[in-house]
Structure 1
Amino acid sequence: MQAIRLLPNNVEKKKKDQGLSSAEARRRMEVYGKNKLATKKKKSWLLLFISQFTDFMVLVLLAATAISMIIGDITEAITILAIVFINALLGFYQEMHTEKIMEAIEKLAAPKAKVIRDNEMREIPAEEVVPGDLTVIEAGDRIPADGVLIMANELQVDESMLTGESMPVRKQVIHNETDTDATFPKNHVYMGCLVTAGTGRAVVTKTGMETEMGKIAHMIQEAEQQDTPLQKRLETLGTYIVIACLVICAIVSLTGIIRGENVFSMLLAGISLAVAAVPEGLPAVVTIALALGVQRMAKRNALVRKLPAVETLGCATVICSDKTGTLTENKMRVVSIYCGRTRYQVTRDDNEENKNRILFQGKPVDPVKMPALNLMALTGILCGNVNIRKVEDEEKISEEYVFLGDPTEVALVRMAVEAGYDPEKIAEEYKRLREIPFDSERKMMSVMCSTPSGDRIIFAKGAPEVILQRCTSIMVANNERKILDYDIKRIEQENTYMAQNALRVIAMAYRIIEKGKSLPSDFEQQLTFLGLAGMMDPPRKEVYDAVEKCKIAGIKPVMITGDHKETAKAVAKELKIIDGNENVLTGNEIESLSDRELKERLKDTAVFARVLPKHKLRLVKAYKEEGYIVAMTGDGVNDAPAVKEADIGVAMGLTGTDVTRQAASMILMDDNFSTIVAAVEEGRNIYNNIRKFIRYLLSCNIGEVLTMFLGMLMGLPVPLLPAQILLVNLVTDGLPAIALSMETGDPDIMKQKPRDPNEHIFSGGLWQLIITRGIFIGVVTLLSFILVFRQSLSLEAARTAALVTLVLSQLIHVFECKSEKKNIFEINLLSNLWLVGAVFTSLSVLACVVYVPALQNVFKTVPLLPEYWLYVAGLCLLPPVISSFFRSKKDEA
């Protein structure tokens, strides 16, 4: 790595200060403690594993296990326990795995800090910094603790992680009473913020949890973690199942007692049916479905920390996104140039990643061949203090530049370098002789350089109104001439146009002092105007499509940023988050609104600017109270409380802070906003797949219960033995249900509106489908039992026919569950090869149970005669035929 330093030659002599003594630092460490953020005590692995058994459905299954053991059905009890244990292991592994990935919260502060101790500078661990320490900071450092500046030399600090402001703050020692940002005064520095330029020294005032970052970390820890919509719906489902089980138990028991059966025997019979009614595979299949979704999302650069997160994002109705670094690149770039009375556009070449193109009326131009543009490029490189590192990649045979400095100056240098200029070569040709630095009063900067011909050239840049006042000539059509009132008016109009489009505008000018001529006393006068450069933090290219897809999917994208109102509005308009007419609400306006008024404003507002962390948190809570399912994306520490409060928090993996990642449920490993849209699609598909296997499992369980229940009511022998019911639960129910969770999903799913946040999992007629098909399965199974029993008078043959009918009916029904809108004759039966494989496996097991002698003895089955197979086939095909007939009639109506 080679560094090219375009810095002033004069370096201010460092001030000496004794700082704290080592003894005093140790004493203060005992009083104030270590300079690190407190974290909640983590659960031990044992408690984490035990917590997997606290889910309501799992508790129901454990109760079923106890009942099975009481009635002597040890096999059933062991089976249920095995399923519960496997489910717990899956959840435990997922939580342990993600906790290890995210165990980085203590790395938030700078790992090292430079302090003055005993009158000498030392580098110590950041956690050893104490109040009163004198810290030394320079470009590239992370500030170790909050402090007050006692020295600042062109010091600039990126505080976007706290404020959301995309531009670094120019720091000063003397507090300015007119400073409008009273929350973060310019003579203070804050833990975790990055120094982008200059040097400074600060006396530490606050450490650890007392810092601004510590306050935000405390807000995160206090935020309540609520159940996701999926967890709430599954808990409701579990409640319904328990109620149904109790009702079944009571009805069967009372019916038998009324008929004169033994009271104890009837109670055991009712309990057995209740146990059979519990879909013991449901929690495991839900976990597997979510785990598969997590794997698919990992392939698309999204790390899911909590299994229900993907499904929750699938029902999001609003996505609150930070602007800087999430919707935008977090890099200032020149996007427009006005030079020689001509407007140029600056774009990045899609075919060459690190190349800029300067366009005129859509056609590229070569700045080297155009004197005015060429001089603007030279001004951008030479008139500034940017540290440029050239990194050579031998494998790719390419070069990349890393720029460190003021974002405005970096943008100008980047434009020139990416347009083909070599900064190292230019720095050698134009030796810097003198610099007049930028300050807030002058609003301009100038450098004097020598040229290869021996002349001296002055490059100047600054505020347009200041530069114009110093210009007496202008370069037009590659020639210099006197600047006219018309030129000035045109330049002012262009400056206004750029500013209205939220561009940061810099004017450039130059002057040549020929070799041998004396240097004027004020060489910043009589300049030649070159042009204007308009720059902004541009939106990410992929975000345009992502925002459009969100709107088509009925999801409201909302920008929440700490940046300027006009900048936020311009970016939102560019991305079509707003159409230009909507209002932008600022943090101060949010403060003045009551909760009721704020909720009213949410309806017609999609951009919130100049907001603080507390405002973000309030906005997320307001959306949730209005019934929205809220996804909150962010990268800075300022986003973390709102990220944790949201229904689904999404953090940036590359640029995001560890605090935000810790608070989030999902992390975008590529910081790509479009990955969120992919997660929404994945979540919707997972929810639909969950509905599919719930439909399948409950239909099958209702069919099993009805078979037994109706048989007992009719005074028939028990249609199915416990071992046979167990076989159906293990093989026929489980495998196809898991395979259903691997359905690819509806290709038009992102054209559908989000589900109602209060929608029940059985909405849209799912209950009717489940009950109707459950009745069909139960009736045809019982009919098969009765027909074969009356013809053969063999109880084993009748039970075998009932078992075969039950299994085949369920396996046919699993293909119907692939779609809620199409019948079985309209569905592509081979689209899910996992499902085909699961059905084939179940059929193979069934064939073995019926025809393998050893298994016949275990399950009390016998081979069926051909005519019995005809009964079975006809009865199994009856339900889908009837269902298809009524569906077609309904569609015609």
Structure 2
Amino acid sequence: MTTAEMNSESASQPHAISAKDALRAHGMSREHGHNSTSIAAVRAEHGWNELQEGPPYPWWKRLLGQFQDVVILMLFCAAIISGALNEWSDSLAIIAIVILNGLIGFFQEERAQQALAALRKISRPQAKVIRDGALTTVPAMELVPGDVIEIEAGDDIPADARLLTAFNLGVQEAALTGESVPTAKDSEAILAADASLGDRRNMVYLGTIVACGKGRALVTAIGMRTELGRIAGFLKQVEPEPTPLQLRLAELGKTLVALCLGIVFVVFLLQWFRQGKFLEAFLTSVGLAVAAVPEGLPAVVTVALALGLQRMVRRNALVRKLPSVETLGSVTVICSDKTGTLTRNEMTVQEIVTGDGGFHVTGSGYAPRGNFLRHSSDTSSDADTLLAPAKEIALRRVLLIGGWCNNARLQPPESAEQSWSVVGDPTEGALIVVFAKAGLGGELSTPRVIHEIPFDSTRKHMTMFLDSREEGTVIFAKGAPEVLLALCQQEWVGARAVPLTPERREFWSQANAELASQALRVLAMASRPAQSGEPHSDLESDLIFAGLVGMIDPPRDEARAAIATCRAAGIRPVMITGDHPATAFAIARSLQLTSDESAVIAGPQLETMSDDELRERVLHTAVYARATAEHKIRIVKAWQSRGDIVAMTGDGVNDAPAVQAANIGIAMGIAGTDVTKAAADMVLTDDNFASIVSAVEEGRGIYDNIRKVLQYLLACNFGELLLMFFASLFGWPSPLLTIQLLWINLVTDGIPALALTLEPTETDVMQRPPRPANEPILSRHLGLAIIAQGFLVGSTSLIAFAISRYYFGDSLEQARAVTFCVLVYNELLRSLSARSDIKTVFELGWFGNPWLLVTVVICVLLQAAVALTPGVRGWFEMPPHDTRHWVMIAVLALVPITLVELTKIALAFKHGRNRKVRLKE
């Protein structure tokens, strides 16, 4: 067998060979990974790392779907009957408008699908991969065989891979094997070639989730060649489920259709019996049914949701679950993590305390530039002494623990425009930076990791078993001071380990509190010599305390403004952190979250409270310190028990239950694990609290726009029904022909309604209280507005018909032509006032929504063309208007919008709102 054949065989059975052989088969190095120049060639051979979806629904079927409605089919029948009776102009006009209306609906739905597809593309999972010797993050679909990836608790496995290292690694494989408990992994195992999938403990597979620990693995299969890909042929592309809002609108639509068709049927009977013309009454009634039924509402709502979600993406909030859009407008409490969300997530070490004294570190950010100063022991002097940290035994030990018990990497800038950056956890990044400031960065490659017990929010510390040339075999640990102090019986003083007496424990506790009171996050360091064969279960026993490191993560400037915005919007901001209470309070005070120290509760204090006590206490608590994942769930449920709508942020895998329990679960896009992102309704791409507030603002705006569209469409349709119903009731001939009704439906419903979805969020939307969660989409206020505005539209159009027909003595065709123009211009102008229930068009600005303005102008010109163009007039049976007709059309068309705008002003003065009307050109 040739070498190439052996490599191919090894690559096809990676679980049956060692990790070294697997790397050799792919020509890879564990530390270097692929060269960036080789990726394209490998991808050309293996393709993209994605599962094939089912065939897309053909566009022509989606187009035909626009003409499957019962009313549309009735119109086609009506067109055929008209043609059979030699009414070819009516027949062709009906067919042309129906087809045009269907095309508009088709393109509306296509626009919505494209917007949703763009969102899905943005939300693709990421993978941590080593390329060109550096750890980087790429979309999972860009992985290729031979890539070296890193995985840790909470990550989705992005491809099938052979483990190279594994530290306490457990993977939840139920999706593939049905095993209910996580499978322990072992990178050193070499298994039989015929080992079953569930027994391959040296492999990880696409579609599974890391339950605990961490590891490094070599990608062996991607896409359809993975184990999950083998069964992908059985998977069907699933259409997205409609949101509760869409379902409620669908139910509302069914009710409105039944109501409208009932009225249409009455109009048909009245017209038929009183006029005696069955075909004319039938055609008119069918046209009225098309005009009265808001068939475009579902498509417009989908467009509103999709475009609104894209606006959210531009403001760094990616919504994963559409129902959360409507929930955002009802949020009353936002529970936020501190680190990276309310702060900058650029940790910088400032203070170090050892058994030999205290030290101050200068410099900020991730650039490894700064000095080390020993604090003066003379309390009367402020002068600190500059020193060389490598020569200070106790200080050097603390720096080594922070630099070696670490998984972050410091990356230099690649150009003058870039700055130093950290790949990994910012807290660990701060320790790497101070390690480099001390000139110890070259020693980072020295130790070999024998075993690692990763950090998690329950243990609050991490431990590494290392082998180094200089230090020998050692155990390094870092974590919460109170946790590590409990694991230590000795402390380092210089090069000696001395007993950790009660007095010294008190000293360290006070030092921790003092650092925390300066808004510093404090980590403790501990270590001890170890034996090379020491059991992993004993690694965290008999540790020797080395010192404390205080670092600061400065508050975000925008977070302070966002907190003020929350309060103005009736939303309660709450900070939850694992930091010391003093640190948490200092940050909260700087953010103006609270100035009352009694508004801070620590985790141990919370554990002593019953659920009823916590339910009462949450009203008076702004900050939770030393909080665990379990505490977060209790806090969420306590608020929910009071009827509040809660948004909760999280990043770690242990935060996923609380994120899922919240009404709006929010995952961190940068620091968040895949499990938390999967459980969340929304992902912040910048991990910034201000982006949460922006998302709430956009969510309120989206909901407002949907209500505006609903109000506009239903008021138009109600006005048309009133016009036809009362005309029939009075025994008058039909004020509008079928072709005219269809044209009205075309130019006044779908197009302006779609433009209304692009209305910018109103400036005062975050100065209103949250919307009640149980408020119906068609509220009492909205219903009354629809009736009132529909009455204005219908009555002015009816008055136009009456004046023309019975006062001016015009012909029936002339009266219909006048009514036709009045109704179209009524509805088009009223779309401008539909932009707000409160503000006038002058306050909003004529160009506040340029899309709507352009749409209205175009539709007005189209209607004018219909009324003025001789050839087109014949299709709509419209004689020319004289001056008195145009004056009447202009006056009556302005009546509804004028009365609506005057009502807004009157209500504003009644409620005492200070208004400054801005006239904009």
TM range (shorter): 0.5 to 0.7
Aligned-residue CA RMSD in angstroms?
6.1
Cα deviation for residue 84 of structure 1 reads 4.3
Give the letter for the 1:681 counterpart.
E
- Mapped partners of 1:110, 1:330: distance in 2: 32
- Mapped partners of 1:679, 1:358: distance in 2: 43
Cα deviation for residue 542 of structure 1 reads 4.8
Query: Contact 2:526/2:547 (CA < 8 Å) preserved in 1?
Result: yes
1:777 to 2:793 alignment: yes
* Structure 1 unpaired stretches of 5+: 1-18, 24-38, 115-123, 130-134, 153-189, 200-207, 210-224, 451-458, 474-484, 510-526
Give the letter for the 2:750 counterpart.
G
Query: Contact 1:632/1:646 (CA < 8 Å) preserved in 2?
Result: yes
- Decide which of 384, 396, 399 is 2:416's aligned counterpart: 396
Who is 1:692 aligned against? 708
- Decide which of 238, 241, 257 is 2:256's aligned counterpart: 241
Change (3 A) 1:287 1:413: closer
Who is 2:192 aligned against? none
Give the letter for the 1:798 counterpart.
A
Change (3 A) 1:788 1:891: same
1:668 to 2:684 alignment: yes
Who is 1:820 aligned against? 837
Change (3 A) 1:658 1:53: farther
The residue correspondences of 1:844-883 to structure 2 (distance < 5 A) are: 844-883=861-900
Cα deviation for residue 755 of structure 1 reads 0.5
- Decide which of 65, 69, 73 is 2:72's aligned counterpart: 65
- Mapped partners of 1:590, 1:542: distance in 2: 35
For normalisation by structure 1, the TM-score amounts to 0.65
- Mapped partners of 1:553, 1:470: distance in 2: 53
- Mapped partners of 1:783, 1:649: distance in 2: 54
Who is 1:651 aligned against? 667
Change (3 A) 1:491 1:723: same
Change (3 A) 1:657 1:776: same
Change (3 A) 1:554 1:355: farther
- Mapped partners of 1:396, 1:661: distance in 2: 34
Helix, strand or coil for the counterpart of 1:704? helix
Who is 2:4 aligned against? none
Helix, strand or coil for the counterpart of 1:686? helix
Query: Contact 1:697/1:737 (CA < 8 Å) preserved in 2?
Result: yes
Who is 2:848 aligned against? 831
Cα deviation for residue 708 of structure 1 reads 2.1
Give the letter for the 1:806 counterpart.
L
Who is 1:231 aligned against? 246
Who is 1:318 aligned against? 333
Give the letter for the 2:305 counterpart.
L
Give the letter for the 1:414 counterpart.
V
Who is 1:34 aligned against? none
Who is 1:283 aligned against? 298
Superposed CA deviations along residues 34-69 of structure 1, whole A, max 9, x for unmatched, are xxxxx9997764499999999xxx99x824324434
Helix, strand or coil for the counterpart of 1:369? strand
Query: Contact 2:606/2:614 (CA < 8 Å) preserved in 1?
Result: no
- Mapped partners of 2:160, 2:17: distance in 1: 15
Deviates more, 1:695-704 or 1:392-401: 392-401
1:843 to 2:863 alignment: no
Cα deviation for residue 238 of structure 1 reads 1.4
Change (3 A) 1:314 1:236: same
The residue correspondences of 1:253-268 to structure 2 (distance < 5 A) are: 253=268, 255-256=270-271, 259=274, 261=276
Query: Contact 1:328/1:538 (CA < 8 Å) preserved in 2?
Result: yes
Change (3 A) 1:422 1:140: farther
- Mapped partners of 2:283, 2:110: distance in 1: 32
Who is 1:155 aligned against? none
Who is 1:86 aligned against? 107
- Mapped partners of 2:326, 2:362: distance in 1: 38
Give the letter for the 1:734 counterpart.
G
* Structure 2 unpaired stretches of 5+: 1-13, 19-49, 80-93, 128-139, 149-156, 174-181, 189-208, 218-225, 228-239, 377-381, 454-458, 471-475, 496-501, 528-543, 911-921
- Mapped partners of 1:600, 1:226: distance in 2: 38
Give the letter for the 1:683 counterpart.
G
Query: Contact 2:650/2:666 (CA < 8 Å) preserved in 1?
Result: yes
Helix, strand or coil for the counterpart of 2:404? coil
Query: Contact 1:144/1:191 (CA < 8 Å) preserved in 2?
Result: yes
Superposed CA deviations along residues 252-308 of structure 1, whole A, max 9, x for unmatched, are 245457758578876765454333211233233323323332332232233344556
- Decide which of 708, 712, 732 is 1:716's aligned counterpart: 732
Change (3 A) 1:697 1:625: farther
Helix, strand or coil for the counterpart of 1:191? strand
Cα deviation for residue 721 of structure 1 reads 1.7
The residue correspondences of 1:38-77 to structure 2 (distance < 5 A) are: 45-46=56-57, 62-72=69-79, 74-75=95-96, 77=98
Change (3 A) 1:397 1:98: closer
Who is 1:185 aligned against? none
- Mapped partners of 1:864, 1:260: distance in 2: 26
- Mapped partners of 1:312, 1:825: distance in 2: 31
Helix, strand or coil for the counterpart of 1:765? helix
Cα deviation for residue 750 of structure 1 reads 1.5
- Decide which of 629, 634, 641 is 1:611's aligned counterpart: 629
Helix, strand or coil for the counterpart of 2:349? strand
Deviates more, 1:381-390 or 1:802-811: 381-390
The residue correspondences of 1:548-567 to structure 2 (distance < 5 A) are: 548-557=564-573, 563=578
Who is 1:415 aligned against? 434
- Mapped partners of 2:279, 2:773: distance in 1: 46
- Mapped partners of 1:49, 1:671: distance in 2: 42
The residue correspondences of 1:74-473 to structure 2 (distance < 5 A) are: 74-75=95-96, 77-79=98-100, 81-99=102-120, 102=123, 104=125, 127=160, 137=165, 191=210, 193=212, 195=214, 228=243, 230-253=245-268, 255-256=270-271, 259=274, 261=276, 270-305=285-320, 309-321=324-336, 333-334=348-349, 336-337=351-352, 349=364, 369=386, 375=392, 378=396, 380-382=398-400, 385=404, 391-396=411-416, 400=420, 402=422, 411-415=430-434, 417=436, 421-424=438-441, 471=493
- Mapped partners of 2:98, 2:275: distance in 1: 30
- Mapped partners of 1:497, 1:49: distance in 2: 71
Deviates more, 1:392-401 or 1:500-509: 500-509
Superposed CA deviations along residues 326-368 of structure 1, whole A, max 9, x for unmatched, are 5567786535456999999879758x9777799999xxx9988
Cα deviation for residue 324 of structure 1 reads 6.4
Give the letter for the 1:494 counterpart.
A
Query: Contact 1:333/1:535 (CA < 8 Å) preserved in 2?
Result: yes
Superposed CA deviations along residues 425-450 of structure 1, whole A, max 9, x for unmatched, are 8999xx99xxxx99x99x99999999
The residue correspondences of 1:569-648 to structure 2 (distance < 5 A) are: 573=588, 576=593, 580-581=598-599, 583=601, 607=624, 609-611=627-629, 627-640=643-656, 643=659, 647-648=663-664
Change (3 A) 1:71 1:508: closer
Change (3 A) 1:714 1:892: same
Superposed CA deviations along residues 62-93 of structure 1, whole A, max 9, x for unmatched, are 24324434544645654554344334434444
Give the letter for the 2:434 counterpart.
M
Q: How many residues align?
A: 734
Who is 1:745 aligned against? 761
- Mapped partners of 2:819, 2:371: distance in 1: 75
Who is 1:214 aligned against? none
Change (3 A) 1:555 1:125: closer
Deviates more, 1:258-267 or 1:738-747: 258-267
Cα deviation for residue 775 of structure 1 reads 1.4
Cα deviation for residue 827 of structure 1 reads 4.8
- Mapped partners of 1:486, 1:588: distance in 2: 28
